[in-house]
Chain A
Amino acid sequence: GESVGLHLPTLSVQEGDNSIINCAYSNSASDYFIWYKQESGKGPQFIIDIRSNMDKRQGQRVTVLLNKTVKHLSLQIAATQPGDSAVYFCAENTWASNTGKLIFGQGTTLQVKP
């Protein structure tokens, strides 16, 4: 069945270093992926998305990489800042199926050390 999971529950990095958060998915039909950030007590906020016809997409300080061969997604955050401390979720749906069903992984907590 469908599942979206994350490799590590917690990631601790030094301020200024780059962060890499990983995500594995099992549904080979998934063709649209999103990364969300959730700060304590708030709803998730959109970071970046990528479609399966792309391998890489860049935003402001963030890059998402998609490896369809091994069904792996990663979020890279450059020059990590204290404000980046949050829980990060990947999510996937199948664009082609037109169902709108968006499934989230369990989340990785990013801790930024000053």
Chain B
Amino acid sequence: NAGVTQTPKFQVLKTGQSMTLQCAQDMNHNSMYWYRQDPGMGLRLIYYSASEGTTDKGEVPNGYNVSRLNKREFSLRLESAAPSQTSVYFCASRKRQNTGELFFGEGSRLTVL
């Protein structure tokens, strides 16, 4: 049982480049989330999808877009990467949209030069 799988695990970009972080879960969960984690800032919510077909902004959505491709997959896109987007990105999912354990992936470390 893989749980939540994120790709890639590491990525280096130049300022202005674009990229997509992929996330897939095999637990038949309804809700999926993207967080970023910076030193001293904890986990900040970028976007979330409470259920298939819906997406909503979190605390720090600027510079990002998301797509809930199907129930399993939730991707995060950086259209024009900036150094301020250097961070560790975590995808997570849970069965219900407003209660219950959130299952996290192992993270994707992104560096923007």
Contact = CB atoms under 8 A, between A and B. Distances in A.
Contacts of B56: 99-101
B90 A44 contact: yes
Given A93-B98, A94-B98, A97-B98, A102 B45 contact: yes
B71 to A, nearest CB: 15
Nearest to A102: B102
A44 B43 contact: yes
Given A42-B106, A43-B107, A103 B59 contact: yes
A107 B107 contact: no
Interface of B: 4, 31, 33, 35, 40-45, 48, 50, 56, 58-59, 90, 92, 97-107
Nearest to B91: A43
Contacts of B104: 43-45
The 6 closest A-B pairs by CB, nearest first: A43-B104, A100-B97, A100-B50, A106-B42, A104-B43, A46-B101
B64 to A, nearest CB: 16
Number of chain A interface residues as a range? 20 to 34
Interface in A40-89: 42-46, 49, 51, 89
Given A43-B90, A43-B105, A44-B90, A99 B97 contact: yes
B40 A106 contact: yes
| Most A C-beta atoms less than 10 A away, residue of B50, B59, B100, B102 | B102
